[in-house]
Amino acid sequence: MEYVHIPDTDLTVSRVALGTWAIGGWMWGGSDEREGIATIHAALDAGVTLIDTAPVYGFGRSEEIVGKALKEYGRRDRVHISTKVALAWKDGQVRRNASPARIEAEVEDSLRRLGVETIDIYFVHWPDGKVPFEETAAALERLRLSGKVRCVGVSNYDPAQMEAFRGRARLSFCQPPYNLFERDMETAILPYCKRHGVALMTYGALCRGLLSGTMRPDREFTGDDLRRFDPKFAMPRFGQYLGAAGALAAWAKERHGKELLPFAVRWVLDQGVEVALWGGRRPAQMAPIGDIFDFALTAADFEAVNRILAEHVTDPVGPQFMAPPE
């Protein structure tokens, strides 16, 4: 495992963090609590020290499972938690709400579900255009100064929104989507964060399983699985992305003796990202973690990635389908 110190904080965290959306079950076809807890323990045993969750992941379920897992595991001083705020839900329908009142109420619910007195990293989950960013930031900064949260972050914000936010709060983290197939962050968000000392904790390193090395064209998605609504998983795009994944896997094996999954995560980390989120809900999915940290990519690797994507993905699409309504 590799670890990174976050500037202007007292946090040192693992460069791979466990994402727990799937553990919450919502939009992933349900969850199994004991298996989720075992998955968190397996990640911690592999050197992960940062667990990422959110209230909306299962409408509180993911946070509760994370809380139980950490209580059972012990060694709490070695583990950090990041969670989020500013998504409200009713009858399974999600809406953005970054009002100070919502934030003040929601943090108490998260602290209770997680069973902690302080949240290490607290993200605004999505920007809310109906609330001035300065007001949202001021509410988060009050929580930081009160000790209820240690660091403040934003997720899915663009540079202009971060600039407004930074006027009223100490911004330590930015959490955008980023993987071999979804690279919009490179244009503006990455340079902005590097320029202003904001650490990147990117999500979706495996692009919802497309870069796991196990996805097949006959894979079926049922129930509320979000991939039923993801245009990447609908033909003919699905075939294009699987073709690219196959070519990338062949390159990773030939050049580094690696499977696609560690190659894909290493690619994210070697782009200047401090922390890559890797989601999972079964303990066996944590086994490849050790394969990520004994090699580094070269200029030839980056050139090959660009060539393979250009050859195979002729109709690319981003992750915009996941954005909740304003």
The answer to whether 15 and 3 are in contact (CB under 8 A) is yes
The answer to whether 116 and 67 are in contact (CB under 8 A) is yes
Closest CA to 24 of 120, 113, 140: 113
The 3-state DSSP class for residue 289 equals helix
Collect contacts of 303-309 with beta carbons under 8 A, ≥24 apart: 304/251, 304/255, 305/180, 305/248, 305/251, 305/267, 308/244, 308/247, 308/248, 308/251, 309/180, 309/181, 309/244
The verdict on whether omega for the bond into residue 319 sits within 30 degrees of 0, i.e. cis, is no
Marked catalytic residue, from 3, 57, 122, 192: 57
57 is catalytic: yes
The answer to whether 286 and 280 are in contact (CB under 8 A) is yes
Distance set, CA 309 to CA 233, 243, 245, 298 (Å): 16, 9, 9, 17
The 3-state DSSP class for residue 125 equals coil
The residues, any chain, with a CB within 8 Å of residue 246's CB and separated by 6 or more, are none
CB atoms near residue 119 (< 10 Å): 24
The 3-state DSSP class for residue 88 equals strand
CA distance 263 to 22: 22
Which positions are catalytic? 57
